[in-house]
Amino acid sequence: MKNKYCFVIVGATAAGKTYFAIQLARHFNTQIISADSRQCYKELNIGVAKPSPHNLEEIKHYFINTHSIQQQVNAKLFETYANDAADIIFKENNVTVMAGGTGLYINAFCNGIDEIPVINEDIKNNIISNFELKGIEWLQNQVKKEDPVYFEKGETKNPQRLMRALEVKRSTGRSITEYQKKQKKEKSFNIIKIGLELPKEQLHKNIDNRVDAMMRQGLLDEVRSLLPYQHLNTLNTVGYRELFTHLNGEDSLNESVDKIKLNTRHYAKRQLTWFKKDKEIKWIDPSTDSESFINTCLAFI
């Protein structure tokens, strides 16, 4: 019988995942694996809402500040990294905590991810160049024409996913769906998925307050320091691309901040849509106090 447990805390951005993960890790005197596709980058800080330096010092976090924005990070890399981190933690503790809002990464850790073939770099670069020049509509049309199977069921508004589908199709002649067999890999430990869900009005208020706090903390200066790298796919992300637009003279600062808030709300909605499909997730109201939250988690063991 498995006697080790990994609590996976999921939910939309600004729902309280970091806070409750830290409370749970304190209770079990254990460590945390971040499942956030942006917090792993050393150069991104304010705009990705990393745990505070105090929290990072108090509790060891894996997959935070581990990579550069110029490195390629994907779900397969995360699967390997997170499995290795879990093995390390379980040598000293029967419980580990994972927290994050990147559904693809969490799915890779919990269920495993199939191998994707090596992609021709010329094809990859050509697709990126065309996307930057012609926009997402061009990308959607190409995928719809060349990989209709993926287009029917995949994330058709996510440029990264669309580019991935197109580069796989053009490199191999096969649909990316053929490589996504979704054969769940057996784990040597139990996974308990906890979802945090706030009322929409409260979540939107949290998002607005967080963006305002980020601006006060110096997000604009952080983005300004990254201007030489704005062409990187990594930085085509909420909180950065909107301020690049301002710094390039296309929007006022207020317009860019409003767009960050709106796009973050849209992102939060997509996150919830993804997680709601997972029937293994046990949903909790994060407005509860930390003691009640911990007791609820303990009841699932």
Q: Distance between CA 206 and CA 103 in Å, rounded?
A: 21
Residues 18-64 pLDDT 10s = 999 999 999 999 999 999 999 999 999 999 999 999 999 999 999 99
| pLDDT tens-digit series, residues 96-150 | 999 999 998 999 999 987 776 778 888 988 998 888 889 899 999 999 999 999 9
- List the single range of 24-28, 149-153, 260-264 with lowest mean pLDDT: 149-153
pLDDT, residue 181, reads 63
- Residue 282 near residue 9, CB atoms below 8 Å: no
Confidence of residue 287 (pLDDT cuts 50, 70, 90): confident
Share of the chain above pLDDT 70, in %: 98
Contact 108, 183 (CB under 8 A): no
Q: What is the mean pLDDT of the chain?
A: 93
pLDDT of residue 179: 79
Confidence of residue 3 (pLDDT cuts 50, 70, 90): very high
Distance, in Å, from the CA atom of 213 to the CA atom of 207, rounded to the nearest integer, reads 10
Beta strands 32-34; 61-62: pairing state:
parallel
Residue 116, pLDDT score: 67
Place of tokens 């909790």: 284
Place of tokens 């601006």: 215
DSSP tally for the chain: helices H, then strands E: 13, 6
Position 69 scores a pLDDT of 96
Q: What is the pTM of this model?
A: 0.81
The residue ranking higher by pLDDT, 142 or 157, is 142
Contact 40, 34 (CB under 8 A): yes
Task: Please provide residue 158's backbone torsions phi and psi, each rounded to the nearest 5 degrees.
Answer: -105, 105
Encode 212-251 in three state secondary structure.
Answer: HHHHHHCHHHHHHHCHHHCCCHHHCCCCCHHHHHHHCCCC
Question: Are residues 38 and 70 in contact, defined by beta-carbon separation less than 8 angstroms?
Answer: no
Per-residue confidence (pLDDT) for residue 183, from 0 to 100: 62
Which position has the higher pLDDT, 114 or 91?
91
32-34 sheet: strands from edge to edge: 61-62, 32-34, 95-99, 5-11, 190-196, 282-284
Q: Rg of the chain over CA atoms, in angstroms? A: 20
Q: What is the pLDDT of residue 114?
A: 72
- pLDDT at position 25 is 98
